Amino acid sequence: MLVDFELIKRAQGGDNAAFNEVVLAYRKRILGTITRVIARPEDVEDVAQEVFLRLYFSLDQLRTPEVFEPWLYRLTVNAAYDYLRKQRRRPEFRMSDLSEQQVLMADAVAGGKVEHEEQYQKKIRESVDALLGAVSEADRILLMLKEVEGLSLKELEKIYQVNENALKVRLFRARQRVLKAFGASPKGKEPATAG
């Protein structure tokens, strides 16, 4: 826990200063999770604010401060899921839709050569984003939390409020789909992903 239970109780009681402190303690972690889940840096702050907005208006429904963190994660998952669903309804032009040559041309037009490391990271982000296109938004978030955020099955069980076996099955199927897409991608045929 990044904050003590007393602070959460005070925030629950309507203490805005306490709520402020809770947000300040968790915002970086939530921003990181959302960055990795939605893969759109320009919308990360907006989604994070939506999470804390929902937190503010539903804090009184939290039964015990002990379950605050899984509960905050649940709000994050829901906000990210809503965002991803909206994005699917509003398809936009993305760099990952371009061929490699087109990307290089776009980069050149945008202001010249980017650093090697940045280019590599961008490629990684686009590869993972494209691979996760093989699964639903809900599975994308679940995989992210498990594989990238490193949450345990126990933690996921608390967030999703479903039993461990159901989660295992869902994760297995989602991972199989991503593996299939990975095998079909040029990256999957390459020997390694090291930069």
Partner 1 sequence: MNLRGSQDDQLNALFQAYRDACPAPEPDVNFMPHLWRRIEARQNSAFSFRRMANALVTAALAATMLLGVYTAVPHNKAADYSMTYVEALADANSIDTPDIVAPVRLDLSEASR
- Our CB check for partner 1 shows the closer of 109 and 192 to be 192
Using rule CB under 8 A, residue 44 touches partner 1: yes
SS3 string of 34-96?
HHHHHCCHHHHHHHHHHHHHHHHHHHHHCCCHHHHHHHHHHHHHHHHHHHHHHHHHCCCCCHH
Residue 56 tokens, joined: 């503010």
- Our CB check for partner 1 shows the closer of 116 and 161 to be 116
The letter for the amino acid at 11 is A
The Cα 66–Cα 43 span in angstroms is 30
Tell me if 174 sits within 8 A of 142, measured CB to CB.
Answer: yes
For partner 1, which residue of 56, 87, 114, 155 counts as binding (CB under 8 A)?
56
- Our CB check for partner 1 shows the closer of 10 and 27 to be 27
- Our CB check for partner 1 shows the closer of 133 and 183 to be 183
Interacting residue ranges for partner 1, rule: CB under 8 A:
20, 23-24, 27-29, 31-32, 35-36, 39, 41, 44-45, 48-49, 52-53, 56-57, 120-122, 124-125, 127-128, 131, 147-149, 175, 178-179, 182-183, 187-188, 192-195
